[in-house]
Homo-oligomer: A and B are copies of this chain.
Amino acid sequence: MGGFQFALASGDAAGPRLGRLVTPRGVVRTPAFMPVGTQATVKGLTSEEVREIGAEMILANTFHLYLRPGAEVIARAGGLHRFMRWQGPILTDSGGFQVFSLARLRRLTDDGVAFRSPLDGAEHLFTPERVLQIQRLLASDVVMPLDVCLGYPADDARAQEALRLTLLWAQRSKAHGAGEGQMLFGIVQGGFSPAMRREAAERTVEIGFAGYAIGGLSVGEPREMTGAALEAVCPSLPADRPRYLMGVGAPPDLLDAIARGVDLFDCVLPTRVARTGTIFTRQGRVNIRNAAYREDEAPLDAACRCAVCAGYTRGYLRHLFNTDEMLGPRLATYHNLAFLAHLMDEARAAIAARDFERWRRGVLEAYTTAW
């Protein structure tokens, strides 16, 4: 863990926290949203643009990069940073989430999870050790252990068994260790029962990691259930380690989780919906394909100070989407990520001013859509 440090400027185990994750590749001011660069590219954008938007850390997907171009190819190219020209810190997931999404293509044992590549049907085996070796080849900065991911709903018996394996694999991951210059997080699972979530948190903390991810949430469960799980987990996590809520990126959900003590987020939602013309604004999301925007000379979001809002009209963006022009998804992706970066800037400023709750209510009041 040389070169890594997490310092809280304000906050404690629960409630909104202002922090700094110091890595050898730069400082990440938290709370922070990490744009997703699944295949070593944040879709449509250059790494320079992702930085310009204000992102300080990104996420890449081990499963995808392992299959294409291959972890060894990336290692020989000098690691993921050099391969994709991103200088800042990178978090890689373990690939578990994607493997468990393969439903019929996988076979689970205590040793790990065997699966067939959706690309060519070839057999592969992910073990806790193997996914850490792969992430070592990728040379990412923050690495994740293999865990068992459930969907929603999942009964307590299934959640209990998934938790057993996740903890077993967490121990093996801790024993194996991350690579030189890498920070290993633990992942808290535990289904949708607050009691099991609390137990999961405590037992993961017993094993001891440099940071803690909260997995298996925001997979379709009611929002109250997500909140209850976070309230069960966060107070059980050490205050001085970063917490990362996996797969959450809708503006209201980000603010809810920050309020409960989460520091880091990633999600494909902001970029995925951007590619079909769904735009984040401070009044809620809008679909820019709508004919109402045909002659709209306003920017995507009047409150936004990103380069797209500074230069382009809704009417032009609507035209780009209406004619299936590549520039549409590119500009919308840029805007949605900038929107979240600015939202995180404001969240940090509000925490620093001890005004987070009032600020959050104000944002949510103006935000008129569900996500």
Q: Which residues of A contact B (CB under 8 A)?
A: 39-41, 43-46, 64, 68-69, 73, 76-77, 83-85, 294-295, 297, 311-313, 315-316, 318-320, 322-323, 325-327, 329-331
Q: Are B330 and A41 touching (Cβ within 8 A)?
A: no
Residues of B within 8 A of A330 (CB): 44, 326, 330
Given contacts A83-B316, A294-B69, A319-B69, A44 and B326 within 8 Å (CB-CB): yes
Residues of B within 8 A of A325 (CB): 39, 41, 43
Q: Are B313 and A77 touching (Cβ within 8 A)?
A: yes
Q: Is the interface of A mostly helix, strand, loop or mixed?
A: loop
Interchain CA distance A325-B322 in the complex, whole Å? 21
Given contacts A77-B295, A77-B297, A319 and B43 within 8 Å (CB-CB): no
| Besides the known contacts A43-B325, A69-B294, A83-B319, 18 further A-B residue pairs in the complex with CB atoms under 8 A apart | A39-B325, A40-B319, A41-B320, A41-B325, A44-B327, A45-B327, A46-B331, A68-B319, A69-B315, A69-B322, A77-B313, A77-B316, A83-B315, A83-B316, A84-B316, A85-B311, A85-B316, A330-B330
Residues of B within 8 A of A39 (CB): 319-320, 323, 325
The 7 tightest CB contacts between A and B, nearest first, are A44-B326, A39-B323, A69-B319, A41-B327, A41-B325, A68-B323, A43-B326
Copies in the complex: 2
Residue of B nearest to A331 (CB): B46
Query: Could you pull out 13 A-B pairs where Cβ atoms are within 8 angstroms?
Result: A40-B316, A41-B320, A43-B326, A43-B327, A64-B323, A68-B322, A69-B315, A69-B322, A73-B315, A77-B297, A83-B316, A83-B319, A84-B316
Interchain CA distance A77-B317 in the complex, whole Å? 13
Interchain CA distance A83-B45 in the complex, whole Å? 22
A312, A316, A330 pick with most chain B CB within 10 angstroms: A316
Interchain CA distance A116-B29 in the complex, whole Å? 57
Residue of B nearest to A42 (CB): B327
Residue of B nearest to A316 (CB): B83
A259 → chain B closest CB, angstroms? 35
